[in-house]
Amino acid sequence: MTLVTDRNLYRQSSEGVSGPISLIDAAIQGGVDIVQLRAVAGETDDLAIYAVSLHLREMTAGKALFVVTGDIELAEKCHADGLMLREHSYRPSEARSYLRGENVKLVGAFARSVEEAARAERGGADYVQFGPVFQADEALEADHPGLALLRKIKDAVQIRVIGFGGVQTPEQAAACIAAGADGVAVTDAITGAADPQKAAADLRAALSAAWTEHHGSAEA
């Protein structure tokens, strides 16, 4: 399970740095195993985003993987575990070649269609994030179009597929697994919760139960 955040979490906190520290630590204790920082290419020289990335790297060490979105130089500088590529940026194989010898082990890509997911796989991506799966306040239905497309993408590729976008509840997270996803990425479901650790734990429990139901074994 991935928690996606950005430096706005630090800007918006009334508790300074201690608020985000507590929130992210609680999320990890609740079952988050990847923390993903959204960054904009070119922000590497921004001391604020660099400081946030170093802080997240330190917080996640030995507890969760740390992934940077969108900025290959930032991923390199902060010794991230993974890099999530934006559209129209590096091919995964190019990014991997650039980062050779660094700590970055995983290279992912966003996909909004079967074609984009297949292209990412051919380009050397380790996984794709597909989304948005849900729109705001959408009812969860068996023939939900986002879940149907998620299923088609999973059938078309061999790499891991992560559902993201609008995943707010344990039921939605479980539905993604039922549709074939290997995991989910969330933001507000945890950062907007009164009890982030419980929110993460509830999501993790739903994911694990759905994985066991549909795969007949413990979650991978």
Per-residue pLDDT of the chain (220 residues; tens, 9 = 90+): 999 997 666 555 445 445 677 899 999 999 999 999 987 555 545 677 788 888 899 999 999 999 999 888 888 888 999 999 987 677 888 887 777 666 788 999 999 999 999 999 999 999 999 999 998 777 677 679 999 999 999 999 999 999 999 999 999 999 999 999 999 999 999 999 999 999 999 999 999 999 999 887 766 5
Q: Where are the alpha helices (DSSP H) in 61-192?
A: 72-77, 92-98, 114-122, 145-156, 170-178, 188-191
pLDDT of residue 62: 93
CATH of the domain spanning 2-214, picked from 3.20.20.70, 3.30.2320.50, 2.40.30.70, 3.30.565.10: 3.20.20.70
Q: Are 102 and 76 in contact (CB under 8 A)?
A: yes
Longest C-alpha distance within the chain, in Å? Answer: 47
Helix axes 145-156, 170-178, angle to 10 degrees: 40
CA 40, 41, 47, 53 dihedral sign is positive
pLDDT of residue 130: 97
Beta bridge partners of 201: none
Distance between CA atoms of residues 200 and 195, nearest Å: 9
> Phi and psi for 14 in degrees, rounded to 5?
-80, -5
Helix axes 196-215, 18-30, angle to 10 degrees: 30
CA 49, 52, 56, 57 dihedral sign is positive
- DSSP assignment letter at 86: P
E strand or H helix at 37: strand 34-38
SS percent in the chain: helix, strand, coil, step 5: 45, 15, 35
Distance between CA atoms of residues 53 and 36, nearest Å: 10
pLDDT of residue 73: 86
Closest alpha carbon to 55 in 77, 78, 34: 78
pLDDT of residue 69: 92
| Pair of tokens at residue 136 | 């705001």
Closest alpha carbon to 206 in 67, 183, 115, 157: 183
